[in-house]
Amino acid sequence: MALPIEKHKKGSKILYNNEPWEIVDYNFVKPGKGQALYKCRMRNMIKGGMLDKTFRSGDSLDEADVSRNDGTYSYRDGDSYYFLDTESFEQYALPASAVEGDMRFLMEGSALQMLFFNGQLISITPPQQIVMAVKYTEPAAKGDTATNVTKAAQLECGAEVQVPSFIKEGDRVRIDVESGSYMERVVS
């Protein structure tokens, strides 16, 4: 359904050039004379690229048919990752090249969000934070525990992160997925 540009806002999902775009920045500009303008910065929801576009007051844009569902990571087979929609129990695949960066901290069975466009899976969003066990790390050197000394630690998913020197093998740590940084030790 086409809506005037005035009805859209930051976060709106629109259809532009037959692809889904998300408006990430939206500014109203009223020049001295002439029509009002809407300057939009948009992110392509399939390819990830950014586009700056100016629309005139009265221009109409179609809403994109996008939806989010809860899902889990199932497995990898060759050049594809497979995900399970936890509502419909349908399995979907995405090419490894499209999701490689999002898979760093995911293990089989990990929860995630799935984004669909016209009923087809186009991307996944991992959780903002994860809790994982430290699989391997060097023991702390004597005397290094009082300062902000960090060391490399390998998590059970295979990813490597920097952790404080007091963390040892078997400890569970909370990781910020977006930055890949240590947040805290989790005591269970």
Taking a C-beta distance cutoff of 8 angstroms, is the pair 185, 172 a contact? yes
Residue 103 is given by DSSP the state: G
For residue 162, pLDDT beyond 70: yes
**Region 167-171: what's the mean pLDDT?**
91
pLDDT digits (tens, 9 = 90+) for 46-89: 877 899 999 998 899 999 989 999 999 999 998 999 999 999 99
Asked whether the predicted pLDDT for residue 163 surpasses 90, the reply is: yes
Please say if the pLDDT value at position 140 is more than 90: no
The residue ranking higher by pLDDT, 35 or 108, is 108
Q: Which one is predicted more confidently, 33 or 27?
A: 27
Distance of alpha carbon 146 from alpha carbon 136, whole angstroms:
22
What is the DSSP code (8-state) at residue 188? -
pLDDT exceeds cutoff 80 at 184: yes
Query: Which top CATH class is 129-186?
Result: mainly beta
- Per CATH, the homologous superfamily of domain 66-125 is Nucleic acid-binding proteins (2.40.50.140)
Q: How far is CA 44 from CA 4, 20, 27, 86, in A?
A: 20, 6, 18, 26
CB distance 4 to 59 below 8 Å: yes
pLDDT tier for residue 133 given thresholds of 50, 70 and 90: very high
**More confident: 136 or 97:** 136
How far apart (Å, rounded) are the C-alpha atoms in residues 72 and 121? 13
The pLDDT tens digits for 106-128 are 999 999 999 999 889 988 999 99
Tell which residue, 164, 175, 171, 103, has the closest CA to residue 133: 171
Structure confidence at residue 143 as a pLDDT band (50, 70, 90):
low
Q: Return the pLDDT at 7.
A: 84
Give the pLDDT score at 145: 57
Q: Among residues 179, 181, 178, which one has the least CA distance to residue 155?
A: 181
Given a cut of 90, whether residue 154 has pLDDT beyond it is yes
User: Which CATH code fits 2-63?
Assistant: 2.30.30.30
Residue type for position 96: A
The chain-wide mean pLDDT, for the chain, equals: 89
pTM (2 decimals)? Answer: 0.76
Looking at the chain, the domain(s) classified CATH 2.40.50.140 span 66-125, 129-186
| Amino acid occupying residue 20 | P
**What is the percent of the chain where pLDDT is above 70?**
96
pLDDT score for 16: 92
Q: Does residue 97 carry a pLDDT above 90?
A: no
Q: Where in the chain is the domain with CATH 2.30.30.30?
A: 2-63
Select from 158, 165, 164, 166 the least CA-distant residue to 181. Answer: 164
First to last CA, the chain: 50
